[in-house]
Chains A and B, each alone.
Chain A
């Protein structure tokens, strides 16, 4: 293979400490197994002529490599690399501070939008509803884009916009089959996960989902939003009748004597959350009685009703 031999002058008496204090060789042999020797020779000659290392400041401490196997020549190259890293750090810092600056400017502009929306809201209040429905919808969609709460009605963000109407219709399509597979009812949390996992990108915010679901009934879609006493929110098929399901729940509980929400959930193949809601509803309707102890919440058929 091609070789380049670099002959070295003897070390000067005031030589800086390095990886090796002395060597029996007075030359370095570079072996080029594949190729690259031509280019390397050119660059080496250039550097040997320019002697840039003699003019570069050597402020940085050059670490003495204690590893005897290292044998690498610690040269100005290391310092150059360190300097590059330092520059990159400074650059990153500069980028961050530039980003913060730009962010502040952007926020100033956003603040103006908030002020403007407040002023429009005030005008609307003054007019006491002399604003057309079309204008209301436009205003709402502007607020939605900016993420500003509706100052007039204090409604949650973006309720009643075209976007949420579209979304409601989409949901009705997407959720039909999953609902049928799950006995006609799903918690809103389940829906959120299901829909967003399917989307992958351009996900729905939790508020988008809730606002769209609130419109299901008014749009006469085959699903509806239902809120239990506990605050748990579910989507049901219109054809689903929770009160009827209670009757079959009562049968199941009677067969087993008594059931906890966990046990019932496993038997019927429901989530524990919804199983509990069904049992609570059955209790509310008077079909079941509770035995509430530290062992857990257990439901029994309400014999007070049936065997009086």
Chain B
């Protein structure tokens, strides 16, 4: 057998191959990755320093959290993407929001049979605070919204619906389109809505209004008061202010823990 790879010829071939290799610029990617790795280490150090000075600020101060989140969003960074990310590991932001996610899920599950899976941000906030107890960190409504946005990816139908200056939080995979949303917004003022109101405010046909209301009834998000004076009223339990901060009963709490 011929011996290959030896002698001047082989060396020349090798040099040629290397040159071609360089030409293809594969080495360039390697260089940049190495650079990124180094810069990543530097950034990690910076973050550690920041954390040692201001970690408590993030935990204690809701306004600071908002600033932090907004800045991250502006530059295209998601500090809550992964528990394995630097932000989570060093600033502890992750645990704060992921735990909040668990608490939000529990409250929504416990109250679903009452409100069909729709709850105002206010009521959710109150119930979550109650569940956390006196000695836990304070959470703001902004914190809840951010935690909910992350929960969407679990496919459980979490959604945020803007109504009259606040939000309704959906926690069931019911399909709520623009028509439903708009009727919810209309109902927000008084907690209920009628077909006539929909017709006059939104200029819809009766049929369209009825379809939307029936869908909400079916989903358990609306209750029908057929005995109301005048015409039937469609009430949204999520908007009953009298039901706010009613305790979660032990039966409901059981429902909440899978």
Chain A interface residues (CB < 8 Å from chain B): 95-96, 98-100, 102-104, 106-107, 109-114, 116-117, 119-120, 123-124, 127, 130-131, 135, 138-139, 142, 144-149, 156-158, 163, 182, 186-190, 192-194, 196-197, 201-210, 227, 230-233, 271-273, 292-294, 296-297
Contact = CB atoms under 8 A, between A and B. Distances in A.
B25 interface: yes
Residue from the set B26, B36, B86 with the largest chain A CB neighbour count within 10 Å: B36
Contacts of B77: 110, 113-114, 146-148
Contacts, number: 212
Contact of B85 (A131, A147, A232): A147
A189 B154 contact: yes
Contact of A197 (B54, B67, B102, B173): B102
B39 A196 contact: no
A231 B54 contact: no
Contact of A196 (B37, B102, B218): B102
B29 interface: yes
B26 A130 contact: yes
A142 B40 contact: yes
* Max chain A Cβ within 10 angstroms of own Cβ: one of B74, B82, B218, B224: B82
Contact of B37 (A111, A123, A142, A156): A142
A106 B86 contact: no
Contacts of B54: 99, 102-103
B143 interface: no
A107 to B, nearest CB: 5
Interface of B: 24-26, 28-30, 32-33, 35-37, 39-40, 42-44, 46-47, 50, 53-54, 57, 61, 64, 67-68, 71-72, 74-89, 94-95, 98-99, 101-102, 105-106, 112, 150-157, 172-173, 214, 217-218, 220, 224, 257-258
Contacts of B76: 114, 148-149
A120 B36 CA distance: 9
A107 B83 CA distance: 19
A146 B46 CA distance: 13
Contacts of B81: 144, 147, 149, 157-158, 205, 207
A259 to B, nearest CB: 16
B82 A123 contact: no
Contacts of B150: 205-207
A109 B46 contact: yes
Contacts of B50: 102-103, 106
19 contacts: A95-B57, A99-B57, A106-B47, A111-B75, A120-B33, A127-B29, A139-B33, A189-B151, A202-B89, A202-B95, A205-B98, A206-B152, A207-B153, A210-B153, A232-B156, A271-B258, A272-B112, A292-B218, A294-B214
Contacts of A149: 76, 78, 81
Nearest to B68: A103
A99 B65 CA distance: 11
Contact of A193 (B40, B72, B79, B258): B258
Contacts of A158: 81-82, 84
Given A96-B64, A124-B29, A205-B88, A193 B35 contact: no
A107 B26 contact: no
A139 B86 CA distance: 15
Contacts of B36: 113, 116-117, 120, 139, 142
